[in-house]
Amino acid sequence: MKPAAIANGYMAILATISPNLMAMGNDDPLMAKVIIERLEAGIDNRDIPQWLEVTGWAGYDLNKLWLKSSIERTDSETESGDIELLYGRAIAPYWDFQLGWKRDFQPTPTRDWLAIGFQGLAPYFFEVDSTLYLGSSNRSALEIEVEYELMLTQRWVLSPRTEILLNGQNDNRTATGSGLSSLEAGLRLRYEIRREFAPYLGIHWERAYGNTADLRQEEGEKTSEVHIVVGIRAWF
Amino acid sequence: MLDRRTFVTGILSGYGLLAAGSASAGTLSGTSLSPSSDFSLTLAPIPVNFTGRPAFATAINGTVPGPTLSWQEGEDVTLRVTNHLIETSSIHWHGIILPTTMDGVPGLSFPGIPPGETFEYRFTVNQSGTYWYHSHSGYQEQTGLYGAIVVNPREGDPDGADRDHVILLSDWTDENPAAIYTRLKKMSHYYNFNERTAPDLYRQIRSEGPLATWQDRAMWNDMRMSDSDLADVTGYTYTYLMNGVSPASGWTGLCKAGERVKLRFINGSAMSIFDVRIPGLRMTVVAADGQDVEPVTVDEFRIGTAETYDVIVTPESDSAYTLFAQSLDRSGFARGTLTTSPELVAALPAMDPVPILGHEDMGMAHSAGGHAHEPVISAQQRHPHAHHHSALAPAGTAGLGSAAGIVHAATEYGPHVDMRTENPVSGIDDPGVGLREHGQRLGREVLRYSQLINRHPTADPRQPGREIQLHLTGNMNRYMWSFNGVKFADAEPLELQYGERVRIHLVNDTMMAHPIHLHGLWSELETGEPSRIPRKHTVLVQPGKTVSYLVSADALGRWAYHCHLQYHMLGMMREARVS
Ligand SMILES: [Cu+2]
Question: For residues B409 and B507, is the Cβ–Cβ distance under 8 A?
Answer: no
Query: Could you report the per-residue pLDDT of A58-116, keeping only the tens digit for each?
Result: 999 999 999 999 999 988 899 899 999 999 999 999 999 999 999 999 888 999 999 99
Say whether A151 and B417 touch across the interface (CB within 8 A): no
Question: What is the side-by-side strand order in the sheet with B118-124?
Answer: B55-60, B38-48, B76-83, B118-124
Instruction: Pick the more confident residue, B15 or B198.
Output: B198
Average pLDDT over residues A157-179: 93
Average pLDDT over residues B165-178: 97
Q: Which residue of B has its CA nearest to A26?
A: B570
Per-chain mean pLDDT for chain B: 90
Secondary structure of residue A62 in the 3-state scheme: coil
- From first CA to last CA, the distance across chain B in angstroms is 37
| CA distance, residue B566 to nearest chain A CA (Å) | 10
Average pLDDT over residues B386-393: 55
Cα(B471) to ligand 1 centroid in Å equals 11
Q: What's the DSSP call for residue B362?
A: G
pLDDT of B371 > 70? The answer is no
Q: 155-214 in A: which are within 8 Å (CB) of B?
A: 158, 195
Bridge pairing between strands B300-303 and B390-392:
unpaired
Question: For residues B559 and B103, is the Cβ–Cβ distance under 8 A?
Answer: yes
- CA B489 centroid distance within chain: 23
Query: Could you report the per-residue pLDDT of B180-214, keeping only the tens digit for each?
Result: 999 999 999 999 999 999 999 999 999 999 999 99
pLDDT of B240 > 60? The answer is yes
* pLDDT at residue B345, as a whole number: 86
Say whether B416 and A90 touch across the interface (CB within 8 A): yes
Average pLDDT over residues A144-169: 97
Largest Cα separation within chain B, whole Å, is: 70
Task: Please give the Cα distance from B325 to B305 (Å, whole number).
Answer: 13
* pLDDT at residue A220, as a whole number: 85
pLDDT class of B364 with cuts at 50, 70, 90: confident
Say whether A22 and B106 touch across the interface (CB within 8 A): yes
Query: Could you report the per-residue pLDDT of B334-347, keeping only the tens digit for each?
Result: 999 999 998 998 99
Average pLDDT over residues A151-163: 97
* pLDDT at residue A76, as a whole number: 84
Integer CA distances (angstroms), A27 to A92, B229, B447, B510, in order: 20, 21, 34, 18
pLDDT of B1 > 80? The answer is no
Q: Which chain A residues are Cβ-neighbours of B480 within 8 angstroms?
A: 27-28, 61
pLDDT of B385 > 50? The answer is no
Cα(B510) to ligand 1 centroid in Å equals 9
Query: Could you report the per-residue pLDDT of B474-488, keeping only the tens digit for each?
Result: 999 999 999 999 999
Say whether A11 and B86 touch across the interface (CB within 8 A): yes
pLDDT class of B383 with cuts at 50, 70, 90: very low
* pLDDT at residue A164, as a whole number: 97
- From first CA to last CA, the distance across chain A in angstroms is 32
Q: Which residue of B has its CA nearest to A91?
A: B415
* pLDDT at residue B390, as a whole number: 53
Say whether B477 and A93 touch across the interface (CB within 8 A): yes
The answer to whether A30 faces chain B, any CB pair under 8 Å, is: no
Cα(B346) to ligand 1 centroid in Å equals 35
* pLDDT at residue B91, as a whole number: 98
Average pLDDT over residues B17-28: 34
Within 10 angstroms of residue A108's Cβ, the number of other Cβ atoms is 9
Bridge pairing between strands B274-277 and B300-303:
antiparallel
The answer to whether A6 faces chain B, any CB pair under 8 Å, is: yes
* pLDDT at residue A167, as a whole number: 94
* pLDDT at residue B318, as a whole number: 83
Question: For residues B507 and B470, is the Cβ–Cβ distance under 8 A?
Answer: yes
Say whether A93 and B45 touch across the interface (CB within 8 A): no
Name which of A143, A146, A120, A119 is nearest A133 in CA terms.
A143
Q: 167-206 in B: which are within 8 Å (CB) of A?
A: 176-179, 182-183, 185-187, 190, 193-199
The answer to whether A32 faces chain B, any CB pair under 8 Å, is: no
* pLDDT at residue B445, as a whole number: 96
pLDDT of B25 > 70? The answer is no
Q: Which chain B residues are Cβ-neighbours of A93 within 8 angstroms?
A: 415-418, 475, 477-478
Average pLDDT over residues B524-543: 97
Q: Please state, for a pLDDT cut of 70, what percent of chain B lies above it.
A: 89
Q: Which chain A residues are Cβ-neighbours of B137 within 8 angstroms?
A: 21-24
Identity of the amino acid at B448: R
Q: Which residues pair with B93 in a beta bridge?
A: B133
Average pLDDT over residues B511-538: 97
Average pLDDT over residues B485-493: 96
Which one of A18, A27, A123 has the shortest CB-CB distance to B138? A18
The answer to whether A5 faces chain B, any CB pair under 8 Å, is: no
Q: Could you give the residue ranges of the DSSP H alpha helices within B264-395? A: 379-382
Cα(A40) to ligand 1 centroid in Å equals 40
Q: 51-80 in B: which are within 8 Å (CB) of A?
A: 56, 58
Query: Could you report the per-residue pLDDT of A188-215, keeping only the tens digit for each?
Result: 999 999 999 999 999 999 999 999 999 8
pLDDT of B55 > 80? The answer is yes
Question: For residues B75 and B118, is the Cβ–Cβ distance under 8 A?
Answer: no
Interface test with B, best of A8, A14, A192 (most B CBs within 10 A): A14
Name which of B88, B106, B39 is nearest B558 in CA terms.
B106
The answer to whether B381 faces chain A, any CB pair under 8 Å, is: no
* pLDDT at residue B317, as a whole number: 79
Q: Which helix (H) or strand (E) holds B169?
A: strand B163-172
Query: Could you report the per-residue pLDDT of B82-133, keeping only the tens digit for each?
Result: 999 999 999 999 999 999 999 999 999 999 999 999 999 999 999 999 999 9
Query: Could you report the per-residue pLDDT of A7-36, keeping only the tens digit for each?
Result: 555 554 554 444 343 346 789 999 999 999
* pLDDT at residue B19, as a whole number: 32
* pLDDT at residue B370, as a whole number: 40
Name which of B185, B42, B295 is nearest B567 in CA terms.
B185
Question: For residues A198 and A191, is the Cβ–Cβ distance under 8 A?
Answer: yes
Q: Which chain A residues are Cβ-neighbours of B481 within 8 angstroms?
A: 27
pLDDT class of B298 with cuts at 50, 70, 90: very high
Query: Could you report the per-residue pLDDT of B263-289, keeping only the tens digit for each?
Result: 999 999 999 999 999 999 999 999 999
Cα(A8) to ligand 1 centroid in Å equals 31
Question: For residues B373 and B467, is the Cβ–Cβ distance under 8 A?
Answer: no
* Sign of the C-alpha dihedral computed for residues B434, B435, B439 and B442 taken in this order: positive
pLDDT class of B578 with cuts at 50, 70, 90: very high
Task: Please give the Cα distance from B475 to B417 (Å, whole number).
Answer: 5
Q: Which chain A residues are Cβ-neighbours of B182 within 8 angstroms?
A: 31
* pLDDT at residue B535, as a whole number: 98
pLDDT of B18 > 90? The answer is no
